[in-house]
Structure 1
Amino acid sequence: MSIKDEEDEPRDYASPACFMHEVDPAYMGLAPSGHSRPWITGWRKGERQRLIDARRDLSAADREARTGRIRAALDSVLEDIAGKSVSVYWPFRGEPDLRGWMASLNDRGTVCLLPIVTEKSKPLTFRSWRRGEKLGRGVWDIPIPVDGEEMTPDIVIAPLVGFDDACFRLGYGGGFFDRTLAARNPRPLTVGVGFALQYIPTIHPLEHDISMDIIVTENQVRFRKGIDGSSGERPQDSRYGLDK
């Protein structure tokens, strides 16, 4: 048998070539980062608790000082919002308290809304609210408007448990904000709000995760790549009077 004939003979016991590197990671149950979904779910659970604990460990005075800087940054980013509807949130588990900022928005002719969980695995709804108006108790006993008008927000301010370089938001795990944004067309401007200590390099985003347009912390304003001409880096922008 010639060398060529030998090379043409089938090799029944040879291992077939592996093309798994060419397979879409989703086919193998992997996220785009290459980690499995169960791994990401477990990792997020641990990070979520770590970041919430770190936020709650801030003293009341420190938290208020940081929140004051966040409010100032929001005013700089959202300069002309008279006549627009802005969804904010009721502070929960050490989140920045923006209730005073909401009152200032009302004074400037902005309609403030609060998000409401109506049903598990469903998008959020939004109702108008002004200081002094009646509140009821929603999921996790978070106050919600009782008599407010249901509206569609032009801008959504979303609290962060964590955030990453690509402006992806780590939330509490219910997926309400992602589900809500996916259902809105056109999508409202989305601004994630949190403290700088909640930064992580990546949340290992999955297919359902939707990035924020802007992230605001007490010492930084970060734009999603392509928003406001940003490269997506972590800029120090003198317009906002913030330190890097």
Structure 2
Amino acid sequence: MSRFLRRTVSCLFGLAIRVLGWVTLLWLLAAMTSLPWNLLEKLAADMPGGETLTPEVLVVLGGGGIPSESGLIRTFAAAQYAKQYPQAQLVVAMPSGEGDLTGQRMVDELVMRGVNRQRIRQETQGRNTREQAVYCHKLLAASGAEPVVGIVTSPEHIRRSLLTFHQAGLTQLKACPAWDSYLEVDLTYGADEVKATQWNPVSDSLLVRYKFWDRLVLQAKLLREGVAILYYRWMGWIK
């Protein structure tokens, strides 16, 4: 390898390290602000006009199955929305193969939480948001007039889901984000209360103990969703 080539590679490597360092620093600094939550709220918002609609059908998009964090949170939220909109039917969109009872477990979870089984149908073919939108459109189109559809999914997934379902032919859509719930109890404490023998600078800092780490996890979800939105636009599945 020539001296010029070695120097070029060395410079590029050094530049990459510096860029990575700055990106990491900005990533960590963002986790100390409300920016991730502000972005999440925007992704979870209704499309124009959606806030005034009353869902006639609630489509629950399967997450990681049952039990899983996203699957349980979405199912719990769907049961709450089913109580809020008692006239709405429910569609559980969860891919299921032969012998796979994941979708049925979601149905059972909804029933356990008070939803009448007669209100629930399953869409078992969609393996991603695009396919779920297409197959749900076919399922609902067979019923006649286009219904108002509420999409129940994770907050960061709402925007892409609404755009995808709209592109698939369902135009009356309402956002039904499945929000996590958090303790409202004051979790600060004094070092003397727990008889700490060492200096404890984080006992009254929820940012250091919880919020910083929660926001790092959230930022990873937002990054993944941003990449997914770009991919869906590239594929022509959303506009």
TM-score by length of 2: 0.31
Going by fraction, where is strand more abundant, 1 or 2? 1
Higher relative contact order (CA 8 A, sep 6+): 2
TM-score by length of 1: 0.30
